[in-house]
């Protein structure tokens, strides 16, 4: 008797919890971003953007008539946390896909896990290694770091530079950049005289820059996403090291320019077109997407848009387009649908995926930018 | 390596070291009056930087810094009154752990008050691009300001601890709180005062280094680790020694960078610190008794 009561109670609970799920039946999406911590400059705009898009979509009736339920986890840029959040999202929350993580280190930690568990992961981190070699279930939205290195080298050649030095941070992003610089410099006929790795929390880099200066280089490349991006230009000026400074696409956040002040003027770096949306010709295919996103984000958060938020924008766009194309939330069909998306206009560029290409962008997605009087401008224009 | 380059490394070492030194001073103040290591000291630097950066556009730089120093001092007092003062005879270890908790609290609160972005105070003289030529090598004028701020703090603190009744009473507190109380010293007031001074000095240090190191909500921890290293290396309780140790670590790191890959600089600095602590547990410049009593 007692046992039967318990049984019926449990049954009632199960039924009760199943009913609302059937009635609302939202599409669950997980996100892992470094909302706080040293990579917060990436994670915060990403999480804001994603929440904004989910709210917009739900306000206009959702996708295929279903609302979207977003679960955002703050990994603080920690690989361990990213992994345990991913397990939580998949095993407890049963999400359709995970958007993020923000950083390369975290993304690489999740690459194997996602593939083994057949879990869609759309990373917002840069390094080419996330999708090369291709993992069946892993995609990424930012431009490849190999494209960034190639774009930098093309500009160096135009300036007649043949010998340069590099400083990179000791993060996944920095290591990824280091690998690409070392691999691609000889192919472009350039000499990489010295590469130094610094701590991502460094507060002064004059000593390491003195070492680079001693190598008689014609230019310096800094590859990081940390505040060190503002330290390097300041330190160079302070020590009278007057050669062109190139930075990676990680420099696409105006806060770094503000923190570096006058020292930022003249920095050259590759970036998506979001930062110069205002000066793009009206005929440019990305003009409409970029302007609309920039306007909404800046109005809503009173903060300048950065390329990182754009990466989350693109991830959401890709996922929702794939769900529409698949006509449901069967993860196998959605994954196949992502792989078949062509000519999808996002903030980073125009995405065309294939089974071999899980990034879908080309070098054309980068524009070389520079800093003029504390603002971003198209380089050479 | 040319003489120019050696000089450039030396100046780089001084730049880095001046930051370590000015952080190291703060640890000594609370230690000298209570025997506590305050791990929230780095957060006081961050607060000083953040408040002054927020105020700087609206008023002269000096006024922004002055307000930041006083405001951070009051935050220090508030933290001590709310979280520490009501404990009756707490074990020192317990208070140290409380300060770690406070550092997390202050950090998270700052993230909510401001945001995750890096900020920097304007250079006190010149700008980001100005540099002073010294015999063919270059250094930022702000480094001289940091050194000047260190010198000012060291001078003021030395005079205060040696020659004022309050300062001497503070040292007595650290030496033996019960005996100090029996002599009629109000120990609780003095501990609160020491938090005010440490927080205010930390804020001044935070303003001085902000143009160089930049300020963001989570800068406190990494700065505090280096500052603490220097305070221990110099000999806890000795502010002059903390400055000397800071500069020494900075120059050693620069020397290490000149020969080894950059990644080894902390290894070199920490190895030297361990070696020194092994042979001289009282620190480079501390007397034998200082190690035991924590007072000079």
| Residue A247 in domain | yes
Span A284-339, pLDDT tens digits: 999 999 999 999 999 999 988 988 999 999 999 999 999 999 999 999 999 999 99
Q: What pLDDT, on the 0 to 100 scale, is given for residue A123? A: 96
Answer yes or no: do A169 and A93 share one domain: no
| Residue A2 in domain | no
Lowest mean pLDDT among A366-380, B8-22, B171-185, B258-272: B258-272
What is the pLDDT confidence band of residue A5, given thresholds at 50, 70 and 90?
Answer: low
Q: For residue B13, give its domain range.
A: 3-293
Q: What pLDDT, on the 0 to 100 scale, is given for residue B270? A: 78
CATH number of the structural domain spanning residue B82 = 1.10.3470
Q: Across residues B271-285, what is the average pLDDT?
A: 77
Answer yes or no: do A64 and A135 share one domain: yes
| Residue A326 in domain | yes
* From B127, B223, B257, residue closest to A261, measured CB to CB: B127
Helices (H), A117-171: 145-158
Query: Measured between CA atoms, how close is B229 to chain A, in angstroms?
Result: 16
A214 vs B: CB within 8 A: yes
Identify all chain A residues contacting B216, using CB atoms and an 8 Å cutoff: 227
Considering only residues A177 and A12, tell me which one the structure prediction assigns the higher pLDDT.
Answer: A177
CB A203 to CB B209 under 8 A?
yes
| Residue A47 in domain | yes
Answer yes or no: do A165 and A266 share one domain: yes
Q: What pLDDT, on the 0 to 100 scale, is given for residue A20? A: 45
Answer yes or no: do A131 and A231 share one domain: no
Answer yes or no: do A13 and A122 share one domain: yes
Q: What pLDDT, on the 0 to 100 scale, is given for residue B221? A: 85
Strand partners, A372: A375
A238 vs B: CB within 8 A: yes
Answer yes or no: do A74 and A182 share one domain: no
What is the pLDDT confidence band of residue B54, given thresholds at 50, 70 and 90?
Answer: very high
Domain tally, chain B: 1
| Residue A280 in domain | no
Query: Measured between CA atoms, how close is A130 to chain B, in angstroms?
Result: 25
Domain tally, chain A: 2
Check whether A271 has a pLDDT greater than 80: yes
Query: Measured between CA atoms, how close is A66 to chain B, in angstroms?
Result: 34
Which of A218, A238, A271 terminates a domain? The answer is: A271
Q: For residue A60, give its domain range.
A: 7-143+289-363
| Residue A277 in domain | no
Q: What pLDDT, on the 0 to 100 scale, is given for residue B45? A: 92
| Residue A329 in domain | yes
Considering only residues B196 and A11, tell me which one the structure prediction assigns the higher pLDDT.
Answer: B196
Which string of DSSP letters, residue by residue, matches chain B? --HHHHHHHHHHHHHHHHHHHHHHHHHHHHHHHHS---TTHHHHHHHHHHHHHHHGGGS-HHHHHHHHHHHHHHHHHHHIIIIITTSSS--HHHHHHHHHHHHHHHHHHHHHHS-S--B-PPPSSS-TT--EEETTEEE-HHHHHHHHHHHHHHHHHHHHHHHSHHHHHHHHHHH-HHHHHHTT--HHHHHHHHHHHHHHHHHHHHHHHHHHH-B-TTHHHHHHHHHHHHHHHH-TT-HHHHHHHHHHHHHHHHHHHHHS-GGGHHHHHHHHHHHHHHH-TT-SS--HHHHHHS--
* From A196, A214, A233, residue closest to B261, measured CB to CB: A196
Answer yes or no: do A139 and A157 share one domain: no
Answer yes or no: do A162 and A205 share one domain: yes
Q: Across residues B12-34, what is the average pLDDT?
A: 84
CATH number of the structural domain spanning residue A166 = 3.40.50.2300
| Residue A370 in domain | no
């Amino acid at each position: 008797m007692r046992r039967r009561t318990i049984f019926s109670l449990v049954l009632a609970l199960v039924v009760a919890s199943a009913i609302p799920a059937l009635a609302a039946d939202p599409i669950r999406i997980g996100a892992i971003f470094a909302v706080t911590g040293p990579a917060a400059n990436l994670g915060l705009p990403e999480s804001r953007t994603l929440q904004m898009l989910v709210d917009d979509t739900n306000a206009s009736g959702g996708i295929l008539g279903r609302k979207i339920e977003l679960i955002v986890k703050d990994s603080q840029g920690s690989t361990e946390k990213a992994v345990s959040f991913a397990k939580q999202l998949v095993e407890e929350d049963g999400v359709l896909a995970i958007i993020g993580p923000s950083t390369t280190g975290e993304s690489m930690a999740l690459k194997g896990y996602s593939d083994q568990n057949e879990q869609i992961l759309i990373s917002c981190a840069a390094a080419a290694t996330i999708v090369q070699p291709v993992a069946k279930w892993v995609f990424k939205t930012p431009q490849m770091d190999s494209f960034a290195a190639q774009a930098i080298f093309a500009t160096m050649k135009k300036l007649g530079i043949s010998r340069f030095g590099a400083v990179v941070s000791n993060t996944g992003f920095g290591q990824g950049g280091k690998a690409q610089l070392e691999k691609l410099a000889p192919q472009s006929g350039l000499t990489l005289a010295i590469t130094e790795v610094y701590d991502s929390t460094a507060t002064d880099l004059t000593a390491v820059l003195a070492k680079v200066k001693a190598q008689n280089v014609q230019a310096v490349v800094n590859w990081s996403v940390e505040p060190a991006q503002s330290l390097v230009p300041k330190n160079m000026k302070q020590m009278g090291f007057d050669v062109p400074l190139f930075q990676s696409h990680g420099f696409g956040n105006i806060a770094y320019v503000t923190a570096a002040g006058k020292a930022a003027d003249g920095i050259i770096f590759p970036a998506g077109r979001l930062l110069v949306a205002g000066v793009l010709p009206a005929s440019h295919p990305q003009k409409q997407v970029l302007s609309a996103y920039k306007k909404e984000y800046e109005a809503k958060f009173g903060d300048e848009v950065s390329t990182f938020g754009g990466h989350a924008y693109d991830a959401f766009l890709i996922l929702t387009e794939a769900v529409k194309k698949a006509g449901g939330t069967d993860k196998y069909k959605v994954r196949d649908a992502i792989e078949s998306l062509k000519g999808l206009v996002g903030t980073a560029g125009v995405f065309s995926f294939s089974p071999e290409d899980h990034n879908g962008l080309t070098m054309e997605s980068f524009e070389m930018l520079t800093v003029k009087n504390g603002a971003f401008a198209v380089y050479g224009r | 390596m040319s003489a120019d380059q050696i000089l450039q490394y030396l100046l780089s070492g001084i730049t880095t070291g001046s930051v370590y030194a000015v952080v190291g001073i703060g640890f000594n103040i609370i230690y000298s009056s209570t025997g506590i290591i305050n791990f929230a000291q780095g957060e006081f630097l961050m607060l000083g930087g953040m408040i002054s950066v927020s105020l700087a556009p609206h008023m002269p730089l000096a006024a922004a810094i002055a307000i930041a120093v006083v405001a951070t001092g009051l935050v220090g007092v508030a933290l001590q009154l709310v979280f520490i003062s009501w404990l009756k005879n707490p074990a020192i270890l317990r208070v140290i752990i409380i300060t770690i908790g406070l550092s997390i609290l202050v950090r998270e609160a700052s993230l909510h008050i401001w945001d995750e972005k890096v900020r920097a105070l304007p250079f006190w003289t010149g700008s980001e691009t100005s540099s002073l030529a010294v015999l063919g090598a270059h250094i930022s004028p702000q480094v001289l300001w940091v050194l000047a701020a260190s010198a000012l703090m060291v001078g003021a603190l030395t005079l205060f601890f040696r020659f004022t009744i309050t300062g001497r009473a503070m040292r007595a507190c650290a030496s033996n709180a019960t005996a100090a109380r029996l002599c009629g010293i109000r120990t609780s007031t003095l501990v609160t005062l020491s938090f005010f001074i440490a927080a205010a000095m930390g804020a001044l240090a935070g303003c001085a280094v902000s143009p160089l190191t930049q300020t963001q909500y989570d800068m406190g921890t990494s700065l505090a680790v280096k500052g603490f290293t220097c305070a221990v290396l110099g000999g806890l309780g000795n502010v002059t020694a903390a400055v000397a140790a800071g500069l020494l670590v900075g120059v050693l790191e620069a020397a290490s960078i000149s020969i080894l890959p950059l990644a080894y600089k902390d290894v070199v600095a920490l190895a030297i610190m361990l070696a020194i602590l092994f042979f001289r547990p009282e620190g480079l410049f501390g007397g034998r008794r200082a190690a035991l009593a924590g007072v000079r």
